[in-house]
Amino acid sequence: MIDIKNVSKWYGSFQVLTDNTTSIKKGEVVVVCGPSGSGKSTLIKTVNALEPFQKGDIVVDGISLTDPKTNLPKLRSRVGMVFQHFELFPHLSVTENLTLAQIKVLGRGKDEAAQRGLKMLDRVGLIKHKDKFPGQLSGGQQQRVAIARALSMDPIVMLFDEPTSALDPEMVGEVLDVMVQLANEGMTMMCVTHEMGFAKKVSHRVIFMDAGKIVEDCSSQEFFGNPDARSPRAKDFLSKILQH
Ligand SMILES: Nc1ncnc2c1ncn2[C@@H]1O[C@H](COP(=O)(O)OP(=O)(O)OP(=O)(O)O)[C@@H](O)[C@H]1O
Ligand SMILES: [Mg+2]
């Protein structure tokens, strides 16, 4: 579903990604972790072409991002993305947030968009909040609306960039529950997260990045079950975050 091939990226003279190669199969859940500044967000943003890169190629569902004929906005509309900050429109109701892109980008009618959006809102357990504004919801609820909004677009893959790291601890669980449910339903997912419980429970693979490079890419069984085989950098990282 996603083929990342020898991707390198520079900001001026600073190389932020160095020759990264990996692929994600349909239905696979892959967790990306690593120290701050290692390039996780940059890598995940290259997948839906939110960040350009200078070398290599990424192929999403058979479509190459570097092919000049590729319609990037169209491709992007099929890739769901959920960020750390919910980025809902504060002046629009939950229902309007859910339907806007469906209407503008996919050309759906208002009723069809509302039907789809509310179905997804129900799926994340928030149907009774459909007429509220984002400011009237908790952080965890807003993040679940953001997930419902992404799902309303019928994505072929979902990308998450630390979706729970801005939340109060008691709200992390409700967002992770939605993500676990999605994973169990067979959604293809690439998740930057330090929630190692989630990674252990549902991910098929773990990618560990350091200094712009994928240094570990293995099954989660291998990653968590065989700590002695990990690289020193990954070991160090794991020992720090698993203390919490
Ligand atoms: N627009 C930019 N211009 C220049 N450098 C940038 C830019 N965006 C990110 N960087 C640098 O690129 C590196 C990777 O950043 P990135 O946000 O991908 O890291 P990350 O692994 O997601 O970190 P975190 O865990 O803190 O979110 C960092 O050193 C960062 O300072
Ligand atoms: Mg980041």
Length of the chain counted residue by residue? 244
Mean pLDDT taken over the chain: 94
Specify the range with the lowest mean pLDDT, choosing from 72-81, 183-192, 225-234: 225-234
Ligand 2 centroid to residue 108 C-alpha, Å = 33
pLDDT at 244: 53
Atom 8 (ligand 1): residue with closest C-alpha?
42
Atom 27 (ligand 1): residue with closest C-alpha?
36
The residues that bridge with 23 in the sheet, in sequence order, are 3
pLDDT at 170: 85
Helix (H) or strand (E) holding 35: none
Residue type, 75: L
User: Which of 8, 20, 38 maximizes ligand 1 atoms within 8 Å of its Cβ, making it the mutation to test the pocket?
Assistant: 38
Other Cβ atoms closer than 10 A to 225:
10
pLDDT at 243: 60
Q: What is the DSSP string of 182-219?
A: HHHTT--EEEE---HHHHHHH-SEEEEEETTEEEEEEE
Ligand index nearest the alpha carbon of residue 52? 1
Atom 12 (ligand 1): residue with closest C-alpha?
16
Q: What is the 3-state secondary structure (H, E, C) of 31-65?
A: EEECCCCCCHHHHHHHHCCCCCCCEEEEEECCEEC
Q: Percent of the chain having pLDDT more than 90?
A: 84
- Does the C-beta of 40 come closer than 6 Å to ligand 1? yes
- Does the C-beta of 36 come closer than 6 Å to ligand 1? yes
- Ligand 1: atom nearest CA of 12 is 4
> How is the chain split into domains, by residue range?
1-78+156-172+180-238, 90-155
User: Which of 15, 32, 41, 43 maximizes ligand 1 atoms within 8 Å of its Cβ, making it the mutation to test the pocket?
Assistant: 41
Q: What pTM does this model have?
A: 0.94
pLDDT digits 0-9 by tens, 60-106: 999 999 999 999 999 999 999 999 887 899 999 999 999 999 999 99
Atom 28 (ligand 1): residue with closest C-alpha?
37
β-pairing verdict for 55-60 and 63-64: antiparallel
Q: CA-to-CA distance for 140 and 170, rounded, in angstroms?
A: 9
- Ligand 1: atom nearest CA of 39 is 18
Residue type, 158: M
If pLDDT is split at 50, 70 and 90, which confidence band does 242 have? low
If pLDDT is split at 50, 70 and 90, which confidence band does 227 have? confident
Can you read off the two tokens belonging to residue 181?
């449910």
Q: CA-to-CA distance for 58 and 56, rounded, in angstroms?
A: 7
Q: CA-to-CA distance for 42 and 23, rounded, in angstroms?
A: 16
Can you read off the two tokens belonging to residue 230?
């990990």
Phi, psi of 79 (to 5 degrees): -110, 115
Ligand 2 centroid to residue 31 C-alpha, Å = 13
CATH topology of domain 1-78+156-172+180-238: Rossmann fold (3.40.50)
pLDDT digits 0-9 by tens, 19-57: 999 999 999 999 999 999 999 999 999 998 899 999 999
